[in-house]
Structure 1
């Protein structure tokens, strides 16, 4: 698992593999206290305004390729050794902020549910939170046939079995809320690919109703793309505030 050193946008980048999966870590020029990091669940370097804002402020940026697995149990188990590796080899904080863009929302929430002690916060951006909606097409959007077939294979479920499937992030919003992992959600209300009313909206309602801490930023008239915000400050500040608060709490608890 020796890393190959390179340069990415003026920052040092290390490429390596973990259990056969391509992975990378980008290091800041000056590391922020606590060695915080951003974990991109999917689509590294796409709409990376928040990633770059935090990198500039001393956060590491990391990614492990588990694409086209739709947050399935196998994908989540592949993600675990990656986190353990980068925390050990790069000295990163035990709890990253995980970024879930589009289908990356599946990985992000499912990983937090499986390993809540290893997550600081979640940033969900136009996220897929109900597989029945996308790619299943049971809602306000059409079925994405290729992706739906991949999804069924990833979960090892038939069409009939998926009809009774209740393990999407939306189904488990109350369970996630009980874990007290803060969430920030950015969405466009004109998203026709991953409709807000089928995914982010009901998730946010259930999450908040069950005591979860969530901030929702709705972009009027914006479709699935572009992701993120022109000014990433609100999201970056949320993530930093959560991490710093957790660091202070842990410090007090250790005294």
Structure 2
């Protein structure tokens, strides 16, 4: 789950709660035979539900003015510029689904590799922050649609393939995502996103020793990966490897000055 998603949100034991808020998949010791639990209705929410969230009056006036220009713009390039501007504003206020929606409008006009990737990435970011199951499924499907268009042209883009894999984990066919992650690691055993996400999935299913193995691989090849270092410590802690957990939490302490991360580390150390 790239980009920012987890470590800065962690305070103390809340990290475990966050793991259980991820797509609910059961993975065996070989990271296979996964099954999804309670996916619910996967039909898409309305556009209004996606991007008509409350904004400040000033921000709303700015957005309305640009949106008004967008409706009347017939030139494809100018339309795309206006749509990108709207997307940027929405992203800056944390409304990632709205940003993705407007990038998609530009992609529908220009229909090229660059706009497909921007739209797919934007929908993936919105997906990573979504909480409602219906919305998660809708945003995941949108992300796959555009990222797969890029992968058809550039199948070597393992970074995008990893994102597609993770959207499948929250779908009715989670094994497809796990299979894709395995394929990525077969092609590139040091792949940062692949190792991290396999570790997270193992944590979520309670396989902390297996998770520790994944995170050990991750930090061996990518020692500056703070999330991986932290989750390695948590995996040691949960698998009762007390001495390793203590040393690893101390390692995390030496890597960051982020007060939220340090507070979380301290809470674990107090329990050791």
Same fold (TM over 0.5): no
Q: Which has the higher contact order (CA 8 A, sep 6+)?
A: 2
Higher helix share: 2
In our comparison, the structure showing a higher alpha carbon Rg is 2
> So what's the TM-score if we normalise by structure 1?
0.28
Higher strand share: 1
